[in-house]
Structure 1
Amino acid sequence: MLSFLRHGAACTLVLAASLPAVPALAQSAEEEAALRSAAESGRDASIKRIQDWIALPSIAAEDLNMQEGVEYMATLAREAGFDEVEIVPTSGHPGVFATMDNGADRTLAVYFMYDVKQFDPAEWSSPPLEGAIVEKEGFGRAIMGRGAVNQKGPEATFLAALHAFKEAGITPPVNLVLIAEGEEEIGSPNFGDMTAVPHIQTALKEAEGIFIPASWQDRSGAVDVNLGSKGVVELELISDGANWGPGPKTDIHSSLKAAVESPAWRLVHALETLVEDGGNTPAIEGWYENVRPLTEHEKDLIREGAALVDPEEQKETLGITRWIDDLPYDEAMIRLAQEPTVNIEGLVSGYTGPGGKTILPGRAVAKIDLRLVPNQTREEAERKMRAHLDANGFEDIEIEVSGGYDPTETAEDSLMIRAEMATYERLGIPYALNPRLAGSWPGAMFTDPPLSLPAGHFGIGHGSGAHAPDEYYVVESTNPNVAGLVDATMGYAHLLYAVAEAE
């Protein structure tokens, strides 16, 4: 569910200098050389690990390979050196919890997902489960396949760092806690079952913070340090003639439309009430009453990053010609971070095959996602959606929620964020502090009580195409600004040292 649109590439060293310092990393030159040598010798195995994982797609929405996927996730954890690994049942698909006790003073938690989005092989230039190596102009050689960047490539690269520690005979400088789920791509409806297990909660509370592996370097090599993410609710709105007074209970001949009402049009009219301004502004009653606007400091951070980005390149990447309301790029990025949304993911009704089929559909479904900002909550959004439909005469429109979670926020002076910035600075990676990622992940399970952990995204390297055809992850970079697999592996090793040594 994460969004991969970057808004900036500024190196916020002036801001970082005002925060508590994270000292230089403590590993010796000999240790660093040994780790790099191990990462290089394990490169082929690391590539194959990603390809093998891509070949086993676990798709929660289709109930595909979920048991096989969780067992494979557990195997990956064991092979990487986690000494306690368990498969954890939930009310839905199971997850994996694992710990690695390295006798360290500090503990770092990491979040994984083993599920991926659906795919249509006909839309891909290379088979989506093959993990073929392809050339990506401006970046180099990449693995193409479903899950390559979201999130199997980055996750497997973090595991590659742990393999490098093992191969080099070096004990990682922090203890590790791994928590992995198989339902992120359907809104993590049962992830709370895992984080509420007493011994899992106890282990997580010992961590200094938690992060999700990422690989979002742009062509310049820059990354974002995200201080939060929007929340999300995934749901369906259903207009079903079998439940609506006028009917019809099934599809009927379209010639009857002059005498019979249409569930499809009923749904269209209900959808129209949810938004205004051409669909760009939610119109649900009370939707904005708890929204926390961005502060001027947060807006300034966004403007700083936007000033170093080519807006036309961003438009070309997205296939658009303008931003909402013809906003300049920096204001569009402020709007992207600040505004909650009501989005139609898909509309399904009646016949959609070749040619025509003259029917009046008995049922219509709209797939919707709601993006939430602090201080909105999932519970509030669901309640207000129901109340809005009822108040506008659409009591018959059903709401089926499949998953979702609240927004997240993490303080920029937290140890987790400072360790990320220290690592990027050591590696010479330009970065921008991003107040809020427009995409979503279930970080609220960690940042909210009772855990109240700092949470973030970390990683170097590049990939793109999440949720889309031709998804890829770069393993051999020809761009001097962008990390390939070995350098990305070393980035995670450096992060562990930064967490261990932070003051």
Structure 2
Amino acid sequence: MRRGFLAFDRNTLSVAIATCAMLLATGSAHALDATDRAAIKAEIGKRHDESLKRLQDWIALPSIAAENRNSKEGAEYMARLAREAGFQEVEIVQTDGKPGVFATLDAGAKKTVGLYFMYDVKQFDPAEWSSPPLEAKLVDKPGIGKAVVGRGAVNQKGPEAAFLAALHAIKGAGKKMPVNLVLVAEGEEEIGSPHIGQVALKPEVQKALKKTVGVFMPSATQDLDGIVTVSLGAKGVVELELVSSGEKWGRGPSKDVHSSLKAMVDSPAWHLVKALDTLVSADGNTITIENYPKPTPISAEEKAMIATAIARKSEAQAKKQLGVAHWIDDLPWLEANERLESQPTVNIEGLVGGYTGPGGKTVLPHRAVAKIDMRLVPGMTLKDAVAALKAHLAKKGFGDIEVNVSGGYDPTQTAASAPLIEAQVTVLKRAGIDPVLWPRNAGSYPGYVFTDAPLKLASGHFGLGHGSGAHAPDEYYVIESSNPKVEGLDGAVMSFVDYLYELGK
């Protein structure tokens, strides 16, 4: 009896040892050992100037969807960058708007990772910049280091160029890529990604994406204090224009007329202002659109996540960075952040009508436009928000006002337990960084196309490094950091190497 048990135990042990060895061999097939990591890191250093020039050249070609500027050229350049980085199959995908790019890199690996890139950038006025926005000059920033200043530097060409540099370094060091890659790039992110579905959900693209463990967007996630935030989602957005015109209204002039005639002629500009006033409360902070979709209440788990995160963040620094002295309703730091995460918004981006040049010009304009963005949180959809807005305006007597939606999408959310996210946390902790988990970005990106049906994938952002000024003058991305808490370009590149190998385990 005892001998039989011992014999069985030895056999079981032998099988277990063999099984564990096989599993370990399989699991570590793409693990990055110290020698390989050192070789890749050295290659990154050798290619620093090459990587920097790649970014500078990319910044010099602005693709601006809102201005119909360089979209064809931007897509072709994105395709070229993908090919040079090792993607074997690269296709420019035509849409009803600006073209996208679909590319695959087959490394013969067991796991596949999805990538989301944008090649477009926001508009800019060179007169507002201290360094020319397309020259991508290296500028000394006190307390930060040397940074590339240019439109798209951090949003999003800097981090994306750093990711491409990681692929060049792995190949240059003679190492095997740990994962296969599927790239989806678009040229309309800055106008609300109206045609991202025509790229990501194209049958062959969708088929490739379904093989992935998830999709991430290269980003620069380090704050100047070294804190790294791992966001689990993002708000949705609707971008639209509200247009009031004498022609459509049937009142007011059909062309600009002398302002003295206001005594007897209706004003489309005032008509628009009165319509805007019905959308929000008297302080502008609460949406009053009738039958507007209701957000899902913030959960106890999300509240706890926010409380933990803000305990590590400086309220004073946040106010200084934003140039504000008060939060809405003078809310305390915790409640202000809970509101940031849980509440939808209706924001006026700009009001345009009549004469806006120097001095005055006494006209009664025949047309006025409000540029609006509406942020959406879980429980809300673009379709329902737009339908409610149109019905509200009609009921309030403003049915003549045109509602021209230019882009937008639903909110997106990914679980903290998703392997895509867990790998981020692992890489960051290995680097000595204790990341902050955050329910969702208050800003937006079209992650819904990956996280919603039919794909239902995890989606997020990752990357060390720092930059700031997205959508603003003097946008920058750190190249050589003088701040020990922040990585420069080479450190950002290495973070992508580490992430890919972690995902490939």
TM-score normalised to the size of structure 2? 0.94
* Equivalent residue number for residue 450 of structure 1: 454
For 1:300 and 1:322, locate their aligned partners in 2 and report how far apart those are by CA, in whole Å.
Answer: 23
Is contact 2:30–2:178 with CA below 8 Å preserved after alignment?
A: no
- SS of structure 2 residue aligned to 1:330: helix
Q: CA deviation at 1:24?
A: 12
User: How far, CA to CA, are the matches of 2:394 and 2:443 in structure 1?
Assistant: 29
> 1:169 matched to which residue of 2?
174
2:437 aligned partner, one-letter code: L
Residue number among 464, 488, 495 corresponding to 2:492 in the alignment = 488
For 1:223-250, what per-residue CA distance to the aligned partner results, in whole angstroms no more than 9, with x for missing partners? 1111110000000000011111213101
- Identify the match of residue 361 of structure 2 among 357, 360, 365: 357
Contact 1:251/1:362 (8 A) holds in 2 = yes
What is the CA deviation profile of residues 281-331 of structure 1, one whole-angstrom value per residue up to 9, with x for unaligned ones?
Answer: 111112243x11110110111111111111111111111101111111121
Does structure 2 conserve the Cα–Cα contact (< 8 Å) formed by 1:221 and 1:430? no
Write out aligned runs for 1:331-410 (5 A): 331-410=335-414
Match of 1:435 among 436, 439, 447: 439
CA distance in 1, matches of 2:491, 2:112: 23
Alignment partners' CA distance in 2, 1:242 and 1:430: 59
Letter in structure 2 aligned against 1:85: V
Separation in structure 2 between the aligned mates of residue 31 and residue 238 of structure 1, nearest angstrom = 59
Q: Does 1:315 align with 2:319?
A: yes
* Other-structure match for 2:258: 253
Match of 1:144 in 2: 149
Match of 1:6 in 2: none
Which amino acid counterpart does residue 54 of structure 1 have in structure 2? Answer: I
SS of the aligned residue for 1:78 comes to helix
Q: Write the letter of the residue equivalent to 2:312.
A: L
Tell me the residue number matched to 1:66: 71
Q: Which moved more, 1:146-155 or 1:241-250?
A: 241-250
**Could you tell me which residue of structure 1 aligns to residue 87 of structure 2?**
82
- The residue aligned with 2:8 is none
Aligned residue number for residue 326 of structure 1: 330
Alignment of 1:222-301 (within 5 A): 222-289=227-294, 291-301=295-305
Partner of 2:195: 190
Q: Which residue of 2 aligns with 1:11?
A: none
Per-residue Cα deviation, 1:356-390 (whole angstroms, up to 9, x for no partner): 10000000000000000011011111111101101
TM-score, normalised via structure 1 length: 0.94
Q: State percent identity of aligned pairs.
A: 60
Q: Deviation of residue 137 (structure 1)?
A: 2.2
The one-letter code of the counterpart of 1:253 is H
Distance in 2 (CA, whole Å) between partners of 1:36 and 1:265 is: 61
Preserved contact between residue 211 and residue 457 of structure 1 (Cα < 8 Å)? yes
2:119 matched residue in structure 1 = 114
For structure 2, the residue ranges without an aligned partner over 5 or more in a row are 1-26
Q: Does 1:43 align with 2:45?
A: no
Where does residue 155 of structure 1 map in the other structure?
160
In the alignment of these two chains, the number of paired residues is 479
Give how far 1:25 is off.
Answer: 8.2
How far residue 95 of structure 1 moved from its aligned partner, in angstroms, is: 0.7
Displacement, 1:421? 0.5
Report the AA paired with residue 414 of structure 2.
T
Do 1:337 and 1:435's aligned partners in 2 also have CA atoms closer than 8 Å?
yes
Indicate the structure whose relative CO is greater, using CA pairs within 8 Å and at least 6 residues apart.
Answer: 1
Q: Matches of 1:437 and 1:149 in 2, distance apart?
A: 16
Q: Is the contact between residue 115 and residue 183 of structure 1 (CA under 8 Å) also seen in structure 2?
A: yes
Q: Is the 8 A contact 1:38 1:167 kept in 2?
A: yes
Aligned to 2:20: none
Aligned residues of 1:25 and 1:494 also touching (Cα < 8 A): no
The amino acid of 2:193's aligned partner reads S
Determine helix, strand or coil for the equivalent of 2:127.
Answer: helix
Distance 1:154 1:446 in 2: 20
Report the alpha carbon displacement of residue 219 of structure 1 after superposing the two structures with TM.
1.8
- After TM superposition, give the deviation of residue 439 of structure 1 in Å: 0.5
Secondary structure of the structure 2 residue equivalent to 1:422: helix
Structure 1, 50-59 or 189-198: larger mean CA deviation = 189-198
Moved over 6 A (4+): 22-25
Q: Identify if the C-alpha distance between structure 1 residues 380 and 288 changes in structure 2 by more than 3 Å, giving closer, same or farther.
A: closer
Residue in 1 aligned with 2:57? 52
